[in-house]
Each structure stands twice: as C-alpha cells, then as structure tokens.
Amino acid sequence: MKILYIKTISAVIFLLMILLPGIYLWFGFLYKNSDLDINKFLSEGSLNYIENILMKAPQNNWQTILNNLSPKNSVATIVSFDALPLNKKQKAQFLQGKAIYIHGANYLFLYYGTERTFVYKRIGNTMYAIKLPLGESTYTLVLSSIKWMINIIDIELSHHAQKNWPLVLRQLEKQFDIGLKLESEKNFLVPLGIKNQLKTHEIAFANTPSVDDISIIYVLLKNSHAILKMGPFDRMPVTKQFAVFQHYYFWIFSIITIFIVVFLTKIFSRNVKKIDDLTTHFSHGEFNNHTHISRFSVLKGIHTNVITMGNKINALMKSQQNMTRFVAHEVRTPLSTMQLALDALNKENNLSDSSKKNILSIQEDIQDLNKLISYFLLYSQSVSHELKLKKEPLCLYNWLEKLIERYQSSTIKIKLTAPDKDKNTIVNFDPSLLKHAVNNLITNALKFADKEVIVSLNIFNNSVEIGVDDDGSGIPKSERENVFKAFTTLDSNQTFGKHIGLGLAIAKA
C-alpha cells in the first residue's frame, strides 16, 4: 500500500510540475498580449498625431513640442536609434515603421507595485524615435499616496519664519514618524538627477529608475520654495512579506497546492488501504475484521458495499458448508447400511462365485462413493479456510519412504531422493493432510509417467519442498493453468484408479 501511496504522490507532483508552470506561462502570455492589444488600440492615434506634428516642425523644436503635448507627470522624449533598448528583431520592426512596446522596470513603494509600458515609434524616415510612456506613472502613484502629507508640511512651513523651520520639521517628524529634511534648490549636495526629475515632475526618487524599491523621495515645495527630503520609508515586516508574496505568488501557490494534494492523497490512500485490508481478510475467509471509514469520505459508499458483499459471501459459504455436511451425512448413512448388509451376505456359505464377484464390485463402488464424499468435505473445508492443522514432529524422509511403499507394486518405478543432511531432520507437519496432498501428486504422476517417478525432498530454514517428477511427455502449456482448478481432469493414455478432478485443487489449497 505504501508503494501505491508513493506512486500516487509522484504522479500528482509530476502533473502539478507540468500543469502549474504551463498555466502560469499561459496566463502571463494572455496578460501581456491583452495589455499590448489595449495599449496599441489606445496609443496608435496619439502616435500618428504626434508624428505628423513633428514632421512639420524643425528637428530642434521636437522636444519642445513634445513637452507642450505631454500630460502632467508623463513626459514623452526623443530618442536616437542607437540609444533604443531594443533587440535585433525589434529594431528591424522599428525600421519598418512599426510601434514597439516595451515593459518598463517594476517599482515598489511600501506595498504598492507598479509596472509601466513604453512605446517607441519611428519619426518618418529619420533615425529618431518618439518614446511615449503609457499607463499610470510611478510618480503619479507615489504622489497620490503622500499628497496630503506634502500639503500639510508646506502649509506649516509657510506659517512660520524660515529660521524656525528646523523646529517645525522635528515636530512634524514625530507627527508622521518619517524623516524630514529641507534642502535649498541651489544646494550642490542634491544630486543632479534629482533636480532634473523635479523640473518635470513634482516629486523625484533618490536613485535611478532601475532601483525597484523607493525609500527616499524629494519634493519641491511650492509655497516654501525648498526641496523636502522625505524618508526613508521603511516597510513594516508584514508589508514586506506581502510584497514578496506578490512577487513569488506563483511558487508559493504551487508549494501550498502540492502540500494540500499530498495531505488529501494521504487521507485517500489510507482509506484505500483499509478497503484493501478488508478484501484481503475476506479472501482468507476472515469476515469479522471490519474497519471504519468516515462518513464524509468519498470512499464511504465503496466501503459499505464491500462489507455488504463480504457478509453475503460469508452467508453463502456457511450455507454451502452446511449443505455439504448435510449431504455427506445423508449419503454416508445409507452407504454404511449397505456395507453392513454386504458384510452379512459375505458371511453366508452358499454364495456362488458370481454373487461374490457382484458383492465385491458393490463394495468397491461404496468405497469410491465414500472417497468421493471425503474429497468433497475436504475441498469444502480447504476453500472455506476451515481446515485445522494437527502438526506432529516426525522425520519427514522416513514418513515419505513408508508412504511410497504402497506404490511399489506398480509397473512404474518410484524413487525417493533427498540430501543427506535432510534425511534425519524432524519437521512439524500434519501427516493426514500432507499424505492426501502427496498421494494426489504421485497418483497424477503415475498416470502420465513412462517408466519412472522421482519424489524429492529439500528442507530449508523456514520451508520444506517436496517435488514429484515423472518422465512422461508432460502437460501441454495450454492445460497447465487448469490442472489445479476444481473438477478439471486431463486425458491420458493410462489410467490409475478413478479421479474426479479435486485432488490437485485440494493439494494446492
């Protein structure tokens, strides 16, 4: 059952490792393509309009025209062909006049995540491109988050003299729990990149756009005419984990799914094992070993049906056993009466030879019928697992020697072989049942042997092997599977006694 569980888990994990990445890639592909289609639909008219305007103006005025056309916090720029961040295929498409859409860098501000798309379009037949930002900019997102804070700080500073601004900022730092510092617009300590960003946007980031975690923000205060440095904005542990979860949600989802599947498969396999154990007990004639499965299990119905089936099989087997015993008893009673009558007839002195011959024939038939009844009873007990072994410690080799003595009158020679170490070994076995099994094997071997039958004995640590081999033509391959089935007999040219096809079935049982 452990092997079944391992195979099930392996198959499930294998399928998940194939399906989940496939679903992830498929959804990613659909998302990017749908985003691309939307951007194409919304930006195509704007690109064509801008291109027409620029083609009518001198090249040195292009950036000025773009600045006038650009919405707030979303400035378009002119980029030379050599500076385009495109691969070989994209550059070829660009030269054909097609618009190229590129996803920009990902930014994280606290637990906000942003990603912006840029489109590059060739301006006529020149080697320059329009770079147009699409979607909500990171500047707009961050500004919308802190605009109330910025406005309050600017108003507070405007209500106080400039010499008191450091004190006001310290009080506001406690209020907002964020570091605040003022810098002059002419302060050379403010990076040039920050100053350039502030010329276009109301806020600026401390580092280059390639940095994905925004922690320091610069703001140009309108009323105070100063640059406010805010931060660092340290994310709380929970929000940090949330951001990581956003970034790795697919792998987290996959791992959680695998654990859930493993857990559910373990429960399912455990219930399957209970049903397997139940059917194993039934196959050995043990019908009292019932197991319990939760009524919420999907296998509850199967479990109930198996128990019901076992109870019916048990009832049928008991009915068959009772019928077999009854028939055997009812048949043996008249046979015993007939045998007594025949014994009485044999004692009479005036019987003719023909009468004695007929009486002998009837006695032989009675013996055959008694033998047949014994076979039926023994077979019934063997298949219903009612046979009880009565073991005795005996020398098995000597026992076999005595057993085959009764066959010495046969025209076919019977020989017993065994290693010297096994000839004096004492073995615990049931002499009655083993005698019946070995007799059946020898009897069948004599029917098909030509000149010799060899009975071999080999004793191992925990088992005993008794082999019966004959030198006949052997059993056809097509019949070998049937010889141990009940009521199956094989044709042969020789006959050695009567048989009904139960001997080997009982020997196997």
pLDDT digits (tens, 9 = 90+) for 199-234: 877 888 865 444 467 888 999 888 877 889 998 876
The mean predicted confidence, pLDDT, of the chain is 80
Contact between 130 and 76 (Cβ < 8 Å): yes
The residues, any chain, with a CB within 8 Å of residue 142's CB and separated by 6 or more, are 109, 112, 203, 214, 217
Q: Which of 312, 365, 362 is nearest to 341 (CA)?
A: 362
34 and 98 together in one domain: yes
Q: Which of 406, 401, 413 is nearest to 457 (CA)?
A: 401
Residue 439 pLDDT > 90, yes or no? no
Residue with tokens 């006001």: 168
Query: ∠ at Cα 323 (317, 327), nearest 5°?
Result: 145
349 and 471 together in one domain: no
Position with higher pLDDT, 121 vs 32: 121
Lowest mean pLDDT among 146-160, 315-329, 405-419: 315-329
Position with higher pLDDT, 123 vs 1: 123
128 and 194 together in one domain: no
Burial profile 125-146: b = 16 or more Cβ within 10 angstroms, e = fewer:
eeebbbbbbbbebbbbbbbeeb
173 and 70 together in one domain: no
Residue 85 pLDDT > 60, yes or no? yes
131 and 161 together in one domain: no
Q: Output the CA–CA distances (angstroms, integers) from residue 447 to 356, 455, 472, in the order listed.
A: 30, 15, 9
Residue 347 confidence (pLDDT): 80
Residue 353 confidence (pLDDT): 80
- Domain region containing 347: 251-386
Residue 491 confidence (pLDDT): 53
Residue 165 pLDDT > 80, yes or no? yes
Residue 250 pLDDT > 70, yes or no? no
268 and 376 together in one domain: yes
Contact between 178 and 110 (Cβ < 8 Å): no
Lowest mean pLDDT among 13-27, 81-95, 348-362, 475-489: 475-489
Q: Note the pTM of the prediction, 2 decimals.
A: 0.42
Residue 267 pLDDT > 80, yes or no? no
132 and 182 together in one domain: no
- Tokens read off for 64: 């000025």
Lowest mean pLDDT among 225-234, 394-403, 412-421, 447-456: 225-234
The residues, any chain, with a CB within 8 Å of residue 32's CB and separated by 6 or more, are 103
Q: Which of 341, 407, 329 is nearest to 370 (CA)?
A: 329
115 and 177 together in one domain: no
Domain total of the chain:
4
Residue with tokens 């697992």: 385
pLDDT digits (tens, 9 = 90+) for 131-164: 988 877 777 888 888 889 999 999 999 899 989 9
CATH code for position 313:
1.10.287.130
Over range 350-367, report the average pLDDT.
83
CATH code for position 29:
3.30.450
Position with higher pLDDT, 387 vs 222: 222
Q: Around 193, how many Cα atoms within 13 Å sit in the side-chain half-sphere? A: 6
According to DSSP, the residues that pair with 466 across neighbouring strands are 457
Helix (H, G, I), strand (E, B) or coil at 403: helix
Segment of 47-61, 93-107, 324-338 carrying the highest mean pLDDT: 47-61
132 and 151 together in one domain: no
Number of continuous H segments (helices) and E segments (strands) in the chain: 13, 13
Q: Which of 136, 161, 191 is the last residue of a domain?
A: 136
Position with higher pLDDT, 268 vs 88: 88
Residue 340 confidence (pLDDT): 86
Residue 479 confidence (pLDDT): 65
How far apart, in whole angstroms, are the C-alpha atoms of residue 2 and residue 105? 49
Q: Which of 243, 269, 291 is the last residue of a domain?
A: 243
Alpha-helical regions (H) of 347-430: 353-383, 396-404
Confidence of residue 499 (pLDDT cuts 50, 70, 90): low
Confidence of residue 487 (pLDDT cuts 50, 70, 90): low
268 and 333 together in one domain: yes
**H or E element, residue 230:** strand 226-230
How far apart, in whole angstroms, are the C-alpha atoms of residue 42 and residue 342? 115
338 and 441 together in one domain: no
How far apart, in whole angstroms, are the C-alpha atoms of residue 324 and residue 326? 5
Q: Which of 120, 136, 152 is the last residue of a domain?
A: 136
CATH code for position 485:
3.30.565.10
Over range 464-480, report the average pLDDT.
79
According to DSSP, the residues that pair with 395 across neighbouring strands are 426
Position with higher pLDDT, 431 vs 330: 431
Residue 438 pLDDT > 80, yes or no? yes
Confidence of residue 236 (pLDDT cuts 50, 70, 90): low
10 and 129 together in one domain: yes
